[in-house]
């Protein structure tokens, strides 16, 4: 993990200093870097690019920021470009920029891996600001998100439903968070047929983790999809589609990260989190296509495709959340491959109803996370009609509006007048490409900051 500190003056020893280069030129001219030097070192204005220029005993990292300068993105790019051999200096104009630098520095680093030697960075970052500034909370929350990324990156042989439940307890230790873990017997008693139905094919049984934080103010209920590995069940995925399915618990991990960070910040809101955990495996015990499951709210679902399992576990979680009559319900899930087809690899899809939708849009705008509001056309509901049960979990053979149909299914498990935001992070929860913004390759932890920001508006 990189080390980040603040100071009111730059060090006198050799260091690296990051300088932003925008479409209009360098945003600071204090270091004597001429256009000739920029051209010689092929400095690029494209966001995230970096050129190393020797300036006296120090090295200037000229970081491209494009047309819109975002301090956190600039800091993240600087961290990725810097060498561990000398401190990296970021000069902030004020306390607000210093805090953004602190967040971006921590979030921009490569996620450490316990399976790879020397994967953690030893870089030291010094944020220089003309005024004294406390960046401890920004660092703590960003480090929590990095730890959640590490959790999401774990392979399925190291993380299964009960292990993830125990990890949740460890994350909450020392914080004002109550942790309640429901095993398969408790899930059966509580009529959570969706979670049980998805998890019954695995020798590693399902779990539900309930996290409770009471900070006062409005009540937010968070629900996360936590499929620790998704084979597709008996509707088995092709081999290439199964790679990466360890990330299918990113929604539940994000709920954990949001609750933990809210407690660290002392957010003035009441938050109840539900992590819906199962491993979707094929076996002689697994749910079959055509089986009917009864979910928590009493609705029956004919399971036509066992690979559309996320909506089944979320149905139970959303029903439990709804029973608490919270002010806002937010669910986070790597729900549909269709989200990637519709939105590419960086945007999360937003659906829902009531005030939570606008709250999510405003929060994402403030954090800089990419979110796109999608419709839930009422005419698509009939595609989920079943002659045997209240509804099916998919329409076999239909490839239109897959992300939208997922949201419509989930809407059956929240009240019609609910303030509810559904965040589909299947497209952005994992980054298979080069790092960008504050996101490394691998798990991104996307939407954790947005959900935290939502809870601040009580």
Catalytic residues: 237, 311
Q: How far apart are CA 255 and CA 65, in angstroms?
A: 31
Burial category of 27 from C-beta neighbours within 10 Å (exposed 0-12, middle 13-18, buried 19 and up): middle
Burial category of 163 from C-beta neighbours within 10 Å (exposed 0-12, middle 13-18, buried 19 and up): middle
The residue with tokens 């979910």 is 295
Q: How far apart are CA 314 and CA 312, in angstroms?
A: 5
Non-local (6+) Cβ contacts of 264 within 8 A are: 137, 140, 141, 144, 175
DSSP state of 439: B
**In the numeric block, which tokens belong to residue 84?**
């561990």
The total number of residues written for the chain in this structure:
458
Q: Left if phi > 0, otherwise alpha if psi is -120 to 50, otherwise beta: which for 42?
A: left
Give long-range contacts, CB 8 A cutoff, 24+ apart: 337-343: 337/402, 337/426, 338/401, 338/402, 338/403, 338/406, 339/403, 339/424, 339/425, 339/426, 339/427, 340/426, 340/427, 341/402, 342/374, 342/403, 342/427, 343/372, 343/427, 343/428
What's the farthest any 2 CA atoms get from each other in the chain?
77
Rg (CA), the chain: 23
Q: How far apart are CA 385 and CA 392, in angstroms?
A: 6
What does each C-alpha distance from 349 to 246, 344, 402 come to in angstroms?
A: 21, 10, 12
Q: How far apart are CA 103 and CA 366, in angstroms?
A: 14
* Alpha helix segments (H runs only) across 324-458: 338-343, 355-367, 402-411, 448-455
Nearest to 296 by CA among 444, 203, 190: 190
- 245-256 in b/e form (b: 16+ CB < 10 A) is bbbbbbbbbbbb
Rounded-to-10 torsion of CA 209, 214, 219, 225: -20
Angle, helix 95-108 to helix 136-153, in steps of 10 degrees: 20
DSSP state of 418: -
């Amino acid at each position: 993990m990189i080390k980040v500190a603040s100071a009111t003056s730059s060090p006198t020893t050799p260091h690296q200093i990051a300088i932003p280069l925008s479409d209009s030129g360098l945003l600071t001219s204090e270091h004597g870097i001429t256009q000739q030097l920029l051209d010689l070192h092929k400095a690029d204005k494209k966001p995230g690019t970096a050129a190393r220029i020797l300036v006296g005993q120090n090295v200037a990292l000229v970081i491209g920021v494009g047309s819109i300068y975002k301090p956190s993105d600039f800091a993240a790019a600087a961290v990725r470009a810097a060498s561990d051999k000398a401190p990296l200096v970021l000069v902030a104009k004020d306390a607000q920029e210093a805090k953004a630098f602190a967040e971006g520095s921590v979030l921009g680093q490569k996620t450490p891996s316990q399976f790879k030697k020397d994967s953690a960075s030893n870089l030291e970052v010094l944020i220089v600001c003309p005024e004294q500034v406390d960046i401890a909370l920004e660092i703590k929350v960003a480090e929590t998100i990095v730890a959640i990324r590490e959790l999401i990156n774990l392979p399925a042989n190291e993380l299964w439903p009960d292990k993830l439940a125990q990890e949740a307890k460890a994350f909450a230790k020392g914080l004002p968070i109550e942790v309640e873990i429901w095993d398969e017997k408790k899930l059966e008693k509580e009529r959570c047929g969706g979670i049980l139905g998805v998890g019954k094919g695995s020798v590693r049984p399902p779990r539900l983790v309930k996290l409770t934080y009471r900070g006062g103010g409005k009540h937010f209920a968070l629900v996360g999809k936590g499929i620790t590995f998704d084979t597709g069940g008996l509707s088995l995925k092709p081999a290439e589609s199964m790679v990466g399915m360890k990330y299918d618990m990113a929604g539940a991990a994000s709920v954990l990260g949001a609750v933990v960070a809210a407690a660290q910040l002392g957010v003035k809101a009441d938050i109840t989190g539900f992590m819906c955990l199962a491993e979707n495996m094929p076996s002689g015990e697994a749910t079959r296509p055509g089986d009917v499951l009864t979910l928590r709210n009493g609705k029956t679902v004919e399971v036509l495709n066992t690979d559309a399992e996320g909506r089944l576990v979320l149905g139970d979680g959303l029903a439990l959340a709804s029973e608490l009559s919270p002010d806002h319900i937010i669910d986070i899930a790597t729900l549909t491959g269709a989200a990637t087809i519709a939105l590419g690899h960086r945007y999360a899809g937003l659906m829902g109803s009531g005030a939570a939708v606008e709250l999510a849009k405003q929060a994402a705008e403030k954090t800089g996370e990419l979110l796109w509001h999608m419709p839930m056309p009422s005419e698509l509901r009939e595609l989920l009609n079943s002659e045997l049960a209240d509804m099916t979990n998919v329409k076999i053979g239909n490839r239109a509006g897959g992300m939208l149909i997922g949201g419509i299914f989930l809407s059956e498990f929240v009240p019609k007048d609910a303030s509810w935001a559904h965040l589909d992070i299947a497209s952005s929860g994992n980054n298979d490409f080069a790092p960008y913004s504050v996101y490394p390759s691998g798990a991104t932890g996307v939407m954790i900051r947005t959900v935290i920001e939502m809870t601040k508006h009580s």
